[in-house]
Amino acid sequence: MVGKKIILAVTGSIAAYKAAQLVRLLVKKGAEVQVLMTPSATEFITPLTLSTLSKKPVFTQVISGQEWNSHVELGLWADALVVAPATANSLAKLAQGICDNIVSAVYLSARCPVFIAPAMDLDMWKHPATLANVQRLKSYGNHFLPVGYGELASGLVGEGRMAEPEEIVAFLEGFFQKKQDFSGKNVLITAGPTYEAIDPVRFIGNRSSGKMGVAIAEQFAARGAAVTLVLGPSKLAPQHPGITTVRVESAKQMYEASVQHFENADIAVLSAAVADYRPANVAEQKIKKKGDSMTIELEKTPDIAASLGKMKRRGQFIVGFALETNDELQNASEKLAKKNFDFIVLNSLQDAGAGFNFDTNKITILHRGNKRKDFELKSKAEVATDIVDEVSRLVG
Ligand code: PMT
């Protein structure tokens, strides 16, 4: 990002507060940041905050007093225009070419790549009008940052949260590094949990959210790969055009989809938390409450990783994961050898902020011969970059 000229256009959403962190991260990475704000954005965060962090005056109007802040010059100056947060209203204006504020005026003048990080409430995000505007903006070649899932400012829970500043920076870095080092490569990724049915209403599952695997899929896709993401039950919906998501529920379904897609894969990253056992018999009707205890007989599920490890041909590369709670290095190194991985990513539930559901993770990459690399606690987007960099280094 060093020396890159970034216009950060902030529009009027509560997520505007994240713009401060975004400016700070971009400046720290060596970028020159020019902030633009719509008048309503200034209700959520002050221009003073953002100009202090960017070390530049913030423009909030095309004409302010006697000054004309040339939207044309700004549009030509930038290496990238980042609209974050982008409200439903701003998406509509950009999609329709309405330029009644400095953000939409600069957008129409910009010749550089445009990155849009939407932020809004879940019903606004799902409204056909918004979906149509997003489609239209994508058809203009604009890049969309996926929205997050979680609690929204309204108190509702769902999709619509702005991507975290770290994710936006990682996305931009991937773009600018012009690291299309996986162009022409097919990458298979497993992610998320599996659910093993007990009866039509109950299942055995685990706490995986799919965040780690989706971040890896997005990093590979940003670097040119054609990614097949075999995703267990997860609320996430990756949006990168380079990702084809195959949704599955059980270990058996994940196994079948993975074996099918491994055939054409150059690289596989197995980050899913797959059930090791499933009920031996699935009741066709809801099991009724009887007696004080109940026993469910379990049988082994197929081990996807071990099967792919056996199928691996010359030139195919497999990265495995190990989620441990004790004897971490020893367990991970046994899995590395037993499942024929090229390297394994160890995360331990002993580390605060690591593992299931967090937006962060702390990993150790373990190679054959016990050579290892320890990493700090980072956002899952940054962890994904570290893992993909390691694959790139080894696959060449
Ligand atoms: O989804 P998140 O909330 O972001 O959390 C991420 C994560 C914690 C799930 C992820 O970082 C992780 O550690 N994934 C692997 C979890 C796991 O089940 O590890 P394991 O040590 O039990 O399995 C070892 C390897 O074999 C893994 O690559 C696993 O995908 C694979 N496996 C396991 C069993 C099985 N039946 N089939 C498999 O392919």
Torsion angle, CA of 334/335/339/340, rounded to 10 degrees?
-60
299 CA to centre of ligand 1 in angstroms: 19
Which is the closest atom of ligand 1 to the Cα of 335?
A: 24
What is the reported pLDDT for 20? 98
- 163 and 24 both lie in a single domain: yes
Domain boundary among 179, 207, 222: 179
Residue 190 C-alpha to ligand 1 middle, in angstroms?
9
The two three-digit tokens of residue 189, written as one number = 């990724």
Same-domain pairing of 170 and 198: no
What is the 391 CA–ligand 1 centroid distance (Å)?
A: 18
Res 152: pLDDT: 81
Whether 379 and 332 map to the same domain: the answer is: yes
Centroid of ligand 1 to alpha carbon of 101 (angstroms): 48
Residue 66: what pLDDT? 63
Closest residue CA from atom 20 of ligand 1:
322
User: Would you say 58 and 37 are in contact if contact means Cβ atoms under 8 Å apart?
Assistant: yes
For atom 26 of ligand 1, the residue with the nearest CA is 305
Residue nearest to atom 5 of ligand 1 (CA): 356
* Ligand 1 centroid – CA 359 distance (Å): 16
* Of 198, 259, 205, 255, the residue nearest 234 (C-alpha): 205
| Same domain as 290, residue 337 | yes
Going from the Cα of 300 to the center of ligand 1, the distance in angstroms, rounded, reads: 16
Return the residue whose CA atom lies nearest to atom 36 of ligand 1: 303
Alpha-carbon distance of 387 to 394, in angstroms, equals 11
Ligand 1 atom index nearest CA of 190 = 30
Catalytic residue among 101, 133, 142, 206: 206
Cβ-proximal residues to 297 (8 Å cutoff; 6+ apart), any chain: 279, 280, 281
Is 284 in the same domain as 203?
Answer: yes
Q: What is the CA radius of gyration of the chain?
A: 23
Q: Which residues' Cβ are closer than 6 Å to ligand 1?
A: 190, 192, 208-212, 251, 270-274, 276, 301, 303-305, 320-323, 335, 347, 355-357
Domain tally, the chain:
2
Tokens, residue 279: 């009920």
Same-domain status, 148 and 199: no
Q: What is the mean pLDDT of each run of 10 residues along the chain (396 residues)?
A: 93 96 96 96 97 95 74 87 98 96 94 94 94 91 86 83 92 80 95 98 97 94 93 90 94 98 98 98 96 96 98 97 97 98 97 92 94 93 93 91
Q: How far apart are CA 379 and CA 359, in angstroms?
A: 6
Question: What is the CA(346)–ligand 1 centre distance, in A?
Answer: 10
What CATH number has the domain bearing residue 193? 3.40.50.10300
Nearest to 232 by CA among 209, 262, 198: 209
Domain limit, last residue, from 138, 158, 179: 179
Residues 338 and 286 placed together within one structural domain of the fold: yes
Nearest CA to ligand 1 atom 18: 273
Q: What is the pLDDT of residue 312?
A: 98
Q: Which of 248, 250, 308, 321 to mutate to test the pocket of ligand 1 (most atoms within 8 A of CB)?
A: 321
Asked if residue 149 and residue 70 are part of one domain, the reply reads: yes
Whether residues 195 and 301 share a domain: the answer is: yes
Shared domain for 349 and 210, answered yes or no, is yes
Rounded CA-CA distance 194/304 in Å is 12
Structural contact between residues 348 and 354, judged by C-beta atoms closer than 8 angstroms: yes
CATH code of the domain covering residue 42: 3.40.50.1950
Is 370 annotated as catalytic?
Answer: no
Residue to mutate, 189, 270, 274, 342, ligand 1, most ligand atoms under 8 Å from C-beta: 274
- What would the pLDDT profile of 51-98 be if each residue is shown by its tens digit? 999 999 999 988 776 677 778 788 889 999 999 999 999 999 999 999
Q: Which residues contact 70 (CB under 8 A, 6 or more apart)?
A: none
Same domain, 258 and 152: no
Of 264, 266, 299, the closest CA to residue 281 belongs to 299
Which residue's structure tokens are 């979680």?
A: 150
Q: How far apart are CA 375 and CA 60, in angstroms?
A: 41
Give the list of residues 6+ apart from residue 333 with CB closer than 8 angstroms, or none.
344, 366, 370
Atom of ligand 1 nearest to the CA of 258: 39
Give the atom of ligand 1 at the shortest distance from the alpha carbon of 332. 21
Boundary of a domain, candidates 127, 154, 179: 179
Question: What would the pLDDT profile of 192-244 be if each residue is shown by its tens digit?
Answer: 999 999 999 999 999 999 999 999 999 999 888 999 999 999 999 887 778 99
* Full domain range(s) for residue 308: 186-395
Tell me which residue has its CA closest to atom 25 in ligand 1.
321
In a shared domain, residues 209 and 311: yes
User: Which residues is 161 bridged to in the sheet?
Assistant: 148
